[in-house]
Amino acid sequence: MPQIVILPHAKLCPEGAVIDTAPGKSVCDVLLENDIHIEHACEKSCACTTCHVIVREGFDSLNEATETEEDLLDKAWGLEAQSRLSCQAIVADEDLVVEIPKYTINHASEGGH
């Protein structure tokens, strides 16, 4: 059974977490099921970037990103080569190390006007 290691995030997961999960679930669903309330403004429909994560280890084990996901990621805050939308990243058989970026481009949650 693969594990997802969540690196500490000041607001969402201050202590970090280690989560056992089954293959076939999205990273976003695994986080939400384990009380890590990652944003998902589009309700996981691949229409925003609020669930953006950086996969520090295990990136190549994930399903391939679609063109739509890649286009959206271009708009994400803190984009890196190992960035994924957590609602689209499906866990395989390998462990993952995931970082939730400090910011999103969701002005409502960031206090924007």
| CATH code for the domain defined by 3-107 | 3.10.20.30
Pairs from 63-72 (Cβ < 8 Å, separation ≥ 24): 63/88, 63/89, 63/90, 63/92, 72/46, 72/47, 72/48
pLDDT averaged over 10-residue windows placed end to end, the chain, 113 residues: 97 97 98 96 94 98 98 94 98 98 67 43
Write down the pLDDT at residue 3. Answer: 98
pLDDT of residue 104: 80
